[in-house]
Structure 1
């Protein structure tokens, strides 16, 4: 039981580390593509920041999906890549809604309207809660199918290791039949006859 628990914790730790690495890469791609389109003079989007942001978010989403499908959750990916990608996008939208909800609550309900407050609410609290939601949602709804052949056996802890087969043992030999011991000189003689003498009939000479 303890070994199984340790294995599950190890799997969760590895998935979280890989998930964080993929998320960091997707974030860099998002920022890079946005700035490349917005201020780099490529694609004619210098005056269209919303279009540039939409494109950068889409590219970052594809990068995040590929990284999670073929690395983070590669032992749980679906057979249908199209269905998996659609579910992935839906869960990302859910994470975005959480971030926007945190920002809106802070800005309009709590009346914390400074730039610092908006960044804390949207990019710290909202982003953190949204990331936790996406990690949970990916495991519950997106990457849910165990592969028949696990490409990473270290991440598979569902089954207990099978005990090693016992070595076959040779069957015990049957004991040898007991041999009758014949006194010397009596070989070939017929079995002795036993005569019974009535009690008290024996006389001493």
Structure 2
């Protein structure tokens, strides 16, 4: 019986499989990131619709901090296949704290520099500006920063450096 990874790889067009296998670490990182993006979105929107309706930067920060823990566990166990070390965890959370700042910069800029909020915009306009600046632009910037910093500083000695053959679909 094929593994879940083999079943997923079978869905990838044949011509792309060698590339997916070669860049499996990035593919896994993006899958973890996509999952955490959705979780961040749900938490952020829930907070903004309830207890933090007047504090969008605080809502996004809480949502991002919460999903950072989930991201750490998934990336450590799956994307980068590293094994728990205290130094690694500290570095991960330092990089993640910096990424939260990177994630919040576009939203803070939109809110406080461009003043894209009520009364200058409708409630819908403010919500759209917050979503685009915080959830889309901020998340994309933070994702690029996180991937670069995780691969360079956090999971450096635990990466699998042996050559990958396309016949190893179970490693994706």
Structure 2 length normalisation: TM-score? 0.58
Q: Is the 8 A contact 1:91 1:137 kept in 2?
A: yes
Out of 96, 119, 123, the position equivalent to 2:131 is 119
3-state SS of 1:156 partner: coil
Match of 2:98 in 1: 94
Gaps of 5+ in 2: 1-18, 118-124, 165-172
Highest CA radius of gyration, 1 or 2?
Answer: 1
Out of 20, 25, 36, the position equivalent to 2:30 is 20
Check 1:79–1:136 CA distance in 2 against 1; reply closer, same or farther (3 A cut): same
Give the structure, 1 or 2, with the largest relative contact order (CA under 8 Å, sep 6 or more): 2
Check 1:73–1:96 CA distance in 2 against 1; reply closer, same or farther (3 A cut): same
How do 1:36-51 and structure 2 match up within 5 A?
none
Q: Using the alignment, how far apart are the partners of 2:43 and 2:134 within structure 1?
A: 21
Aligned CA RMSD, in angstroms, stands at 3.8
Match of 1:175 in 2: none
The alpha-carbon deviation at position 53 of structure 1 amounts to 8.7
Match of 2:69 in 1: 62
Q: Deviations over 1:22-61 (max 9, x none)?
A: 123334555677899xxxxxxxxx97999x9988655533
Match of 1:130 in 2: 142
Check 1:138–1:90 CA distance in 2 against 1; reply closer, same or farther (3 A cut): same
**Number of residues of Structure 1 aligned to a counterpart in Structure 2:** 135
Per residue, is there more helix in 1 or in 2? 2
